[in-house]
Structure formats: C-alpha cells, structure tokens
Amino acid sequence: MDKKGYQATILYVICHMGLIFFLYPSDMFSGMDTGHWIGISISYALHAAALYMYMKGLKWAAQPNVVDMFRSTGKYLAWILLLPAFFYFGIAIIVTLRAYSEMLTLVFLSSTPLWAVQLLLIAIGFLMAWQGMSSMARTSVLLVVLFMFPILFVLCLGFQNVDWYYLLPLIDREQTFHFIAKPDFLVSLFVYAGGSFFLGLLPPSIHISLKKMMLGCLLLLPMFFLSVYLPLLTFGQATAELYQFPMLMTIDTVNITWLLFDRITIFFLLSLMAFALMYLGVTLWVLATLAQKAVPNVPGIYLLIALTAGLFAISLAIPNWNYLKNLQVLIIPLRLYIFLVLPLITFLIGWRHKHKANRATEVT
C-alpha cells in the first residue's frame, strides 16, 4: 500500500505530538531556571541521533523486526535486551493513562470519576491495538488531516499574550550544565523515549524511509520549542513553574472575541487527545507484539486483553499525583536505556550484520 514511508513517519510524529504539550513543559520548568533552549536542544539532538542509529541499524540488519534481530545474536540476549523495554512501555502506558485522565478531569470533566476516563482511554487504545498496525497507520493519516489544523490554529493564537522580554537572558552568566543530572530534566525525556521503538516492529507492509523519518523528526523540533516557550513567554519562569499543565494555562489566556467559543483550550486538548490515544494504541500494540514473540503459542488477542486489563488495574491502583511523579523518577534508568542504549545496541548489531554480509559476498 504505502511504498513511500509516509505512514510510518506520520505515526511517529503523531505519537510525539500527543505527548509533547502536556507533561514536557512542566518538567522542563522544574528542571531548568534559565536557558531552556539549551536543554531542549541537547535532548533533541540526542533523540535525533538515537532515531537515526536505530533505523540505520534496522536497515543494515535486514531483519523484519528488532526482536528477530536481537535473537540472531543469541537466544537469551534478546530476552535481556528487550525485557526492560517491555517494562518501560508498560509503565509509560500507566503514566500516560493516569496523567491524561487527571488532566481531562482538571480541564473539563470535573464531575466524571477518574476511573471512567481511564477506562474510556484504555478501551480506545485497546480497540486500536486490536485492529493491528496497518489500520493504526491508516488512522494516523486521518487524524493528521482532521486535527492538525485546529492545533496549528491554536498554537498561532497562543502568541497573543507573549512578552518577548521573557526570552532573555538567552544565556545566563551562571548557566551550568547541572540540569542534565536533575531528576526533573531526566523525567522530561519521557516524551522522546517511547514514540520511536515501534518502528522496529512494523510489519513489512509499512515501509520506513530514512529521509522522511528525519524530516518528520525535524518537524517536531518547533513543537518542542513551542511547548516550552509559549508558556515561558506568557508567564515567565517564576509563574510557569507553578502550573501543573503550563501549556493549557497559556492557551486558556487567549482571548478572542470573534470566535464562537469562549475557551479554545478544549479544541487544543481534544485534538491532542486523539494523538495521545494513538500513542496509547501503538504502545499497547508494541507490548502485545513483544508478548506474542515471547509466548508464541497463546493467541495474540488473549495477550492483548490480559495486558490491557492488567495495565488498567495498575493505573487505577495509583493513589495520587505524587506517586505518579515518584514512579516517573524511579524509571529514569529504564528511560535512559530506551532513549539511548537500545538504539545504540541496534546500531551495533546492524553494523556487525553489514560487515558479515560484506564478507560473505567477498567469499562467494
């Protein structure tokens, strides 16, 4: 169907868009006081490099997916390498579910109980994952068509209240790189870590084009900056760090009298929610696919149901927001592993494959 690699790129962009605008700015504001662009640039550059290595490794290995590729190096190595990924994605789903349902109740469903929102979110994610990757990839194209315009519209209007002086100082005289080791900054890497692993599990019908992927990655760069700098320019660091969801507060300050609707936050939120649901679906699908590889004799649908039910139960069991924050801090090593180490390993294995193949062709 899709020979040009658009679907994979769109899926990748959507998964990240669904994450960027919510938890990222608040983590950045608590992680850094000044010079936020340095932090964004560093983590973005690492992400772009990791993405490139991951895809290059996959391409070289010429294996259908990352599990088979790891298996080719050793039976147990695949287990050891992928088990952390499995755990990480499980926790990522729990965090997303919980944080997003909390946010939805905060913004407009104030009388709806949390569990109902969580159930709805995971049910939609489950349905998506059930239908498989190719249907999700097609859906993602539709979502872009439907929701990209409202999002861009709201983002443009978000500049209404900016005070450009808050941009200064670009580099503080006392700027240090201590922030890199700060838990808050490491937690902010959440947005980078989860949205590209699925590329290694795509079925052969969906192609990946390295060039388009990198272009998609480049498209995300302004989004990372906007998500942090719109609140910063509107409120300033001292106020922005007080908000749980700075981006939503920024959109809330936009005042347009000619628009039919009083608050445009809901447009923004719902459009991004559609993207976040896509992320949930994709991540659930990744988990189910990994589980399927591990236990091939159980039908996939049962695994998916079991996973969904388990994750839902765990996300219900989380008592409060602080607990969620602690959870995010606890999985920092796992996150760094997914963020940097796994792409690096993929790259190395791919590189070895390529060399082997080269030698093989030389011999024959």
Partner 1 sequence: MDNPVNIRHPLKCFLMLAALVPLLAGCWDNKDINHRSLPVIMGISLTEENQYKVFLDIPATNETSTVNIVSDTGNTINEIIDHMSMNMETQVDLLHLKIVIVDKNFASKGMEDIISAFNRSRDISSKTLLAICDEELDQFFSKVQAKSEHSGSIVYDFFEKNAGWNPQLADTRVWQMFRSIHSYTHDVIVPIIRSGRSTSIECVGSAIIKNGRMTGRIGPDETLVANAFYGKSAFGKVEVMNSATVQIISNKLTHRSWMKDGRPYLRSHLRLKVTILDSRGHPTEEQINGKLEELLTTRLNQMFKQTQKEQADILALGQHFRNHLTREQLQDWRTTYYPDLDFKLSVTTVIENRGNLKSL
On whether the CB atoms of residues 190 and 19 are closer than 8 A, the answer is: yes
Q: How far apart are CA 247 and CA 251, in angstroms?
A: 6
DSSP H helices, 253-341, are 265-294, 300-317, 321-330, 332-336
If one asks whether residue 300 binds partner 1 (CB under 8 A), the answer comes out as: yes
**DSSP code per residue over 77-115:** HHHHHHHHHHHHHHHHHHHHHHHHHHHHHHHT-TTS-HH
Which of these segments, 140-148, 296-304, 313-321, 333-341, binds partner 1 (CB under 8 A)? 296-304
Which of these segments, 42-50, 53-61, 102-110, 349-357, binds partner 1 (CB under 8 A)? 102-110
Instruction: Quickly count: other Cβ atoms within 10 Å of residue 164's Cβ.
Output: 8
Q: How far is the CB of 219 from partner 1 (least distance, A)?
A: 27
Among 41, 72, 73, 292, binds partner 1 (CB under 8 A): 292
**Interacting positions 28-87 with partner 1 (CB under 8 A):** 33-34
Which residue number, 78 or 288, has a Cβ lying nearer to partner 1?
Answer: 288
Which residue number, 93 or 288, has a Cβ lying nearer to partner 1?
Answer: 288
347 token code pair: 């790259």
Among 253, 313, 355, 359, binds partner 1 (CB under 8 A): 253
Q: How far is the CB of 207 from partner 1 (least distance, A)?
A: 15
**Interacting positions 154-173 with partner 1 (CB under 8 A):** 163, 165-166, 168-169, 172-173
If one asks whether residue 143 binds partner 1 (CB under 8 A), the answer comes out as: no
Intra-chain end-to-end CA distance of the chain, in Å: 35
Residue bearing tokens 């592993």: 337
If one asks whether residue 239 binds partner 1 (CB under 8 A), the answer comes out as: yes
* In the chain, beta strands by DSSP E: none
Q: How far apart are CA 185 and CA 182, in angstroms?
A: 5
If one asks whether residue 116 binds partner 1 (CB under 8 A), the answer comes out as: yes
Which of these segments, 7-15, 89-97, 126-134, 273-281, binds partner 1 (CB under 8 A)? 126-134
Q: How far apart are CA 293 and CA 260, in angstroms?
A: 51
If one asks whether residue 5 binds partner 1 (CB under 8 A), the answer comes out as: no
If one asks whether residue 285 binds partner 1 (CB under 8 A), the answer comes out as: yes
Q: How far apart are CA 53 and CA 200, in angstroms?
A: 12
Among 112, 302, 310, 356, binds partner 1 (CB under 8 A): 112
Residue bearing tokens 């939609």: 124
User: Distances from the Cα of 190 to the Cαs of 14, 113, 358, 363, in angstroms?
Assistant: 15, 26, 38, 46
Tell me, what DSSP letter sits at residue 341? I
Which residue number, 301 or 330, has a Cβ lying nearer to partner 1?
Answer: 301
If one asks whether residue 333 binds partner 1 (CB under 8 A), the answer comes out as: no
26 alpha-carbon distance from chain centroid: 16
Residue bearing tokens 């910063």: 232
Q: How far is the CB of 282 from partner 1 (least distance, A)?
A: 12
If one asks whether residue 150 binds partner 1 (CB under 8 A), the answer comes out as: no
If one asks whether residue 111 binds partner 1 (CB under 8 A), the answer comes out as: yes
Residues found near partner 1 in the complex (CB under 8 A): 33-34, 106-107, 109-113, 116, 120, 130-135, 163, 165-166, 168-169, 172-174, 203, 205, 235-239, 242, 249, 252-255, 257, 262-263, 285, 288-289, 292, 300-301, 304
